[in-house]
Structure 1
Amino acid sequence: MASTAEADPFRDPSLSHLNPPPTRQEEPSSTLAAGKNASFTLGTDSLIVLDEGLLDKKWNCCGIASSKNKTTRSIPFFNILWAELVDDEITIHYAESIGKEKVRAAYLNYELEKSDTTFINNWIERLLDRAYGASQRRKRIKVLVNPFGGKGSAQKLYHKHISPIFTASRCEIDVEKTQYSGHAVEIAAESLDTEAYDVIACCSGDGVAHEVFNGLAKKKDAARALAKVAVVQLPCGSGNAMSLNLNGTASPSLAALAVVKGLRTPLDMVSITQGDKRTMSFLSQSVGIVAECDLATEHLRWMGSARFTYGFLVRLIGKTIYPADIAIKFEHETKKDICAVYSAEAAKSPPTHDDRPVPSPDIGLPELKYGTINDPLPEGWLLTSHDKLGNFYAGNMAYMSSDANFFPAALPSDGCMDLVRIDGNVKRTTGIKTLLAVENHTFFDLPHVNYSKISAYRIIPKNQAQGYISIDGERVPFEPFQAEVHRGLGTVLSRTGHLYEARGPMQRS
Structure 2
Amino acid sequence: MASTEATNPFQDPSPGEIRAQGHDQAALAASAPQSTSPQQHASTTLDVGRNASLTLATDSLVIQGMNGGSTKDKEGKTTRSIPFYNILWAERSDSGDITIQYAHTVSKTVVRPAIISYSIDKPDSSAIEAWIQSLLDRAYGTSQRRKRIKVLVNPFGGQGGAVKMYHKHIAPILAAARCELDMEKTMHNGHGIEVGQKLDIDAYDVVACCSGDGIPHEVWNGLGKREDAARALVKIAVTQLPCGSGNALSLNFNGTNSPSLAALAVVKGLRTPLDLVSVTQGDKRTLSFLSQSVGIVAETDLGTENLRWMGSTRFTYGIVTRLLRQSVYPADIAVKVEHDNKAAVREVYRTEASKPGPHCDERELPPVNTGLPALRYGTVQDPLPESWTLVPHDHLGNFYAGNLAYMSADANFFPASLPSDGCLDLVRIRGDLKRTKAINTLLAVAEHKFFDMDHVDYQKVTAYRIIPRNQKDGYISIDGERIPFEPFQAEVHCGLGTVLSKSGHLFEAKGV
- Which residue does the alignment assign to 1:47? 61
SS in 2 for 1:320: coil
Aligned to 1:405: 412
Aligned ranges for residues 117-266 of structure 1 at < 5 Å? 117-190=125-198, 192-266=199-273
Which amino acid in 1 is paired with 2:160? G
Give the direction of change, closer, same or farther, for the CA distance of 1:274–1:127 in structure 2 (3 Å limit): same
Q: Does 1:479 align with 2:486?
A: yes
Aligned position for 1:16:
none
1:462 aligns with 469
Displacement of 1:358 in angstroms is 0.1
**Deviation digits for residues 439-492 of structure 1, max 9, x if unmatched?**
101101111110000000000000111000000001111000000000000000
Aligned equivalent of 2:118, options 97, 107, 110: 110
> What is the alpha-carbon root mean square deviation over aligned residues?
1.8
Q: 2:348 aligns with which of 341, 358, 372?
A: 341
C-alpha deviation, 1:415, in angstroms: 0.1
Counterpart residue identity of residue 182, structure 1:
G
CA contact (8 A) 1:162 1:252 kept: yes
Q: Could you say if the C-alpha distance between residues 309 and 353 of structure 1 is closer, same or farther in structure 2, counting changes exceeding 3 Å?
A: closer
AA of the residue aligned to 2:275: D
Within 5 Å, give how 1:310-325 maps onto structure 2: 310-325=317-332
Alignment of 1:28-67 (within 5 A): 29-54=43-68
Number of the residue aligned with 1:352: 359
**Secondary structure at the counterpart of residue 234 of structure 2:** helix
Residue 429 of structure 1, CA deviation: 1.1
- By how many angstroms is 1:55 displaced? 8.7
The amino acid that maps onto 2:228 is D
What's the CA shift string for 1:383-414, capped at 9, x where partnerless?
Answer: 21101100000000010100000000111000
Identity of aligned residues (%): 66
How many residues align structurally?
A: 472
8 Å Cα contact 2:70-2:80 kept in structure 1: no
Q: CA deviation digits over 1:282-316, x for unaligned, max 9? A: 00000001111111121222333333333223322
- With structure 1 as the length reference, what TM-score do the two structures score? 0.90
Decide which moves more: 109-118 or 73-82.
Answer: 109-118
Alpha-carbon spacing, 1:343–1:114, altered in 2? closer, same or farther (3 Å): farther
Q: Does the 8 Å contact 2:328/2:432 carry over to 1?
A: yes
Q: Of the candidates 384, 387, 398, which is equivalent to residue 391 of structure 2?
A: 384
TM-score (norm 2): 0.90
Aligned to 2:403: 396
CA distance in 2, matches of 1:107, 1:388: 60
Aligned counterpart, 1:62: none
What SS does the corresponding residue of 2:43 show, helix, strand or coil? coil
Note closer, same or farther for the CA distance 1:93–1:52 as it changes in structure 2 (3 Å cut). closer
Take 1:24 and 1:81, find their aligned partners in 2: how far apart are those partners? 28
Residue type at the aligned position of 1:401: S
2:79 corresponds, among 61, 67, 72, to: 72
More displaced stretch, 119-128 vs 311-320:
311-320
State whether residues 37 and 53 of structure 1, in contact with CA within 8 Å, keep that contact through their aligned partners in structure 2.
no
Native 8 Å contact 2:162 2:211 kept in 1: yes
| In 2: Cα distance, 1:225 partner to 1:269 partner | 13
| Structure of larger gyration radius | 1
Q: Following TM superposition, where does structure 1 have runs of at least 4 consecutive aligned residues deviating by more than 6 angstroms? A: 55-58
Q: Aligned to 2:374, what secondary structure does the other structure show?
A: coil
Once residues 328 and 372 of structure 2 are traced to their aligned partners in structure 1, the CA distance between those partners, rounded to angstroms, is: 36
CA contact (8 A) 2:146 2:179 kept: yes
Give 2:390's aligned amino acid. Answer: L
Counterpart of 2:16 in structure 1 is: none
